[in-house]
């Protein structure tokens, strides 16, 4: 089960494809999308990342950054980002601890699940979509939640 709506999002720091560490609390005051996914270059994860890329203008229009998180290294993320021309940063959760905090990890096996969170400006969970097999729906659900929360985009 993912984190519940209105729950405070756990803080974390992870290496990013922008060359620095990303720390969530340093971005308080603005909403964001965190999407957890299993692995770079797999068919479902590629489809999901490309869907976020293709819909990125909707998020940019209302200044909502998108961050993809998996257990892949920054080096692998950089190759994935370049190959698919992703306009957002990917974060390297090498040991899966952040995925575990966000209930985005299958216990015992350590496999990262496909879960997307919309955090509000106070970094409380405003919306969540949890589906391992419907990769393309994650973006559509978040766009719908943003329209409900912030109006037309």
pLDDT band at 59 (very low <50, low <70, confident <90, very high): confident
pLDDT at 153: 45
Catalytic residues: 45
**H-helix or E-strand spanning residue 54:** helix 43-54
pLDDT at 86: 98
**H-helix or E-strand spanning residue 46:** helix 43-54
Whole-angstrom distance, CA of residue 94 vs CA of residue 146: 30
Tell whether the model's pLDDT for residue 144 goes beyond 80: no
Q: Which CATH architecture has domain 27-150?
A: 3-Layer(aba) Sandwich (3.40)
User: Per-residue b/e over 73-106, b at no fewer than 16 CB within 10 Å?
Assistant: ebebbbebbeeeebebbbbbbeebebbbebbbbe
89: left (phi over 0), alpha (psi -120 to 50) or beta: beta
State the pTM of this model. 0.91
Whole-angstrom distance, CA of residue 100 vs CA of residue 106: 8
pLDDT tens column, 102-139 = 999 987 777 899 999 999 999 999 999 887 666 666 67
């Amino acid at each position: 089960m993912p984190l519940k709506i209105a729950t405070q999002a756990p803080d974390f720091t992870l290496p990013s494809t922008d060359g620095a560490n990303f720390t969530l609390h340093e971005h308080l005051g603005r909403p964001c999308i965190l999407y957890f996914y299993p692995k770079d270059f797999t068919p479902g994860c590629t489809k999901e990342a490309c869907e976020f890329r293709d819909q990125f203008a909707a998020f940019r229009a209302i200044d909502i950054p998108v961050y993809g998180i998996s257990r892949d290294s920054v080096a692998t993320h950089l190759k994935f980002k370049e190959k698919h021309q992703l306009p957002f940063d990917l974060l390297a959760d090498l040991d899966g601890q952040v995925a575990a905090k966000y209930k985005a990890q299958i216990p015992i096996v350590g496999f990262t699940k496909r879960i997307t969170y919309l955090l509000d400006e106070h970094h409380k969970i405003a919306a969540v979509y949890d589906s391992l097999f419907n990769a393309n729906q994650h973006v559509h659900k978040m766009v719908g939640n943003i329209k409900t929360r912030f109006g037309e985009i």
